[in-house]
Amino acid sequence: MTITVDGSTLDVRRLRRVPLIYVSGPLTTGHMTSNIRSALEIAHDLMLRGYVVIVPHEKALLMEMLHPMSYVDWLRYDFRRILACDAVYRMPGESRGADLEVRFAKSRGIPVFDSLVELEKKMPPIDTYRPKRRKAARI
């Protein structure tokens, strides 16, 4: 099956399941905007390496503005997302929540990495893609 969008053709028959990585790191400790940007930069790097990523930072701020939840409810939700993942990537930086996510992942036998090199070595992506570069929006 092929899909054509905006003049580009995607042959979806060639797509294969790749490891799903949960990006864990500081959000509210330190400067929140900088933490979100760092998480998204790491997520982009992982995407370019061929992984699929879950970045809790990308929705937490907006969801919290619309539908505030308790810290425990956020942890419960994130733990469920971790259960769906093949591994956790732990960003540098102090974070009580990220430390709890790492502890939870390890208790469930989900590997945790703090190095992209180690992640690629132990859990290589099946295939990679290179998205076309577009100019980033200024925020």
Instruction: Evaluate whether residue 49 is within a structural domain.
Output: yes
* CATH number of the domain within which 112 lies: 3.40.50.450
Do the Cβ atoms of 13 and 111 come closer than 8 Å?
A: no
Domain span including residue 102: 16-122
Which ranges of the chain would DSSP assign to H, the alpha helix?
A: 32-49, 57-66, 71-83, 96-107, 116-122
Do the Cβ atoms of 69 and 63 come closer than 8 Å?
A: yes
Which residue has 């929540």 as its token pair? 97
* Domain count of the fold of the chain: 1
Residue type, 98: A
Q: Tens digit of pLDDT for each residue in 55-100?
A: 988 877 788 788 888 889 989 999 999 999 999 999 999 999 999 9
Q: Tens digit of pLDDT for each residue in 22-47?
A: 999 998 787 888 999 999 999 999 99
Instruction: Evaluate whether residue 68 is within a structural domain.
Output: yes
